[in-house]
A and B are shown apart, each in its own frame.
Chain A
Amino acid sequence: MSVCDKTTRLIAAAMGRDLEPNEARFLKEHAAGCAACREHLAAAGAVTGMLKGLVPAEADTPLGFGDRLRDRLLDRSGRRNWYGYLPTIRFRPMELGLLAGLLLCALATVGFFYFNEEHPQPLLLTSKEVSTETPLSIDLEYLAVHPIREVAVTIELDAGVKFHSDYAEVAAARSHTWTGKFTEGMNSIPFMVTVEKPGTWQIRTRADFGGWRHEHLITLTSTGKMVTMAQYQLPKHRI
């Protein structure tokens, strides 16, 4: 190692303020007689001053850095959907709980007003209990505000119920459609059924006239000997 090479190492130590007193003395003496090392020492001194804060300890990234990064992250995550561009909102558990609570309150309020409002419900028209030994007579009643020339009333039975009729084909049928006309005022369509098996059965009827569908639901609950009949008028609706 030449003397000047040794000086280079000492100058490096001087840059870090790590020079021993004897090394400092050697460097000073050598530099006094060596122009190159003297210049080197001077340059190193200037550089040491410049190094500090050569870049700030914290620096802002260039404009657009964040956008470009997000773009690349979206590419890598495969989430380049329309919702990927929406700002993401994250919540702490407490905030999430509060939000859930508020949502529940809102739902409860809506529910309260909804269920307190009057909604069309099935209307119980008649209810009676009769023996299963005799046929059960049922009247379907319809109010017509003006004469209706053509009306079709369809009656459909569950498996445990049969039409009571002298006509074998009617008695064997599971559904029957009555066609006719209505006069102004109350119109009655009577029919008879027998309940053949114990259990709960239904009869559904529909009549289309005046642009509305009128429906009835008849429930028959048979114990074997007695049958309880309840007839409901369902809310009519547009057809």
Chain B
Amino acid sequence: MTGLNEKELARQAMNGDIAAFEELITAEKPRLYSFALGMAGGNHADAADVLQEAFVKAFVNIKRFRGDSSFGTWLWRIVRNEFINYRKALGTKALQHDDEEVAGLAETGRTTAVDELIFAERRAKLLEIVAMLPPKYREALVMIDIREETYEKTAELLDLSMSALKTRLMRAREKLSELIRKRRSYFL
């Protein structure tokens, strides 16, 4: 870190300074990638693709950053929009679940190693199920229930009022509950 403030770095990035832009995104990158992973159903390739696309868009459009909010907040907004576009581009990708495979794993779980394998598999499946939620519900669930971000910070980053966030989260849990009901055998 050079210690230059956000405003100065943003000014340099506006003049095409790539290193300044890289420094600007450094602080938020781990959190954004965590969010991207949650949004992409744990798929690292998809998460990295979307995040990269969002960063490129942020760089190209950095002149639109007016400094009304922090650069981090502005960046989060771009990443969230990119997930909406990304899902649209893909179509509503139906995630494939091999019910028999998971059910089989559950039945054969006897040893600790196998238990761990089952647990890892279940986590992966759960992430896939989370990825089936519409983006606006998914992001609320990823932020609060998965990443355990505070309500205040989440409301700020998702640009929502507190009550709107709580409503979205409730709807997200209901939708998740419906999805789980249909696939309850995975988790028993």
Contact = CB atoms under 8 A, between A and B. Distances in A.
B162 interface: no
Contacts, number: 148
Interface residues of B, number: 54
Contacts of B130: 54
Contact of B4 (A12, A52, A90): A90
A77 B18 contact: yes
Given A44-B177, A47-B126, A88 B19 contact: yes
A11 interface: yes
Interface residues of A, number: 47
B188 A59 contact: no
Given A40-B184, A46-B188, A90-B4, A54 B59 contact: no
A46 B187 contact: yes
Main secondary structure of the interface of B (DSSP, over half): helix
A195 to B, nearest CB: 61
Contacts of A76: 56, 59-60
Interface string B117-135: 0000011001100100000
24 contacts: A11-B181, A13-B170, A13-B173, A16-B170, A36-B181, A43-B184, A43-B186, A43-B187, A50-B126, A51-B146, A54-B130, A54-B146, A55-B127, A57-B149, A58-B30, A58-B31, A59-B33, A61-B33, A62-B48, A69-B55, A70-B18, A76-B59, A84-B18, A92-B4
Interface of A: 8-9, 11-13, 15-16, 18, 36, 39-40, 42-44, 46-48, 50-62, 65-66, 68-70, 72-74, 76-77, 79, 84, 87-88, 90-92
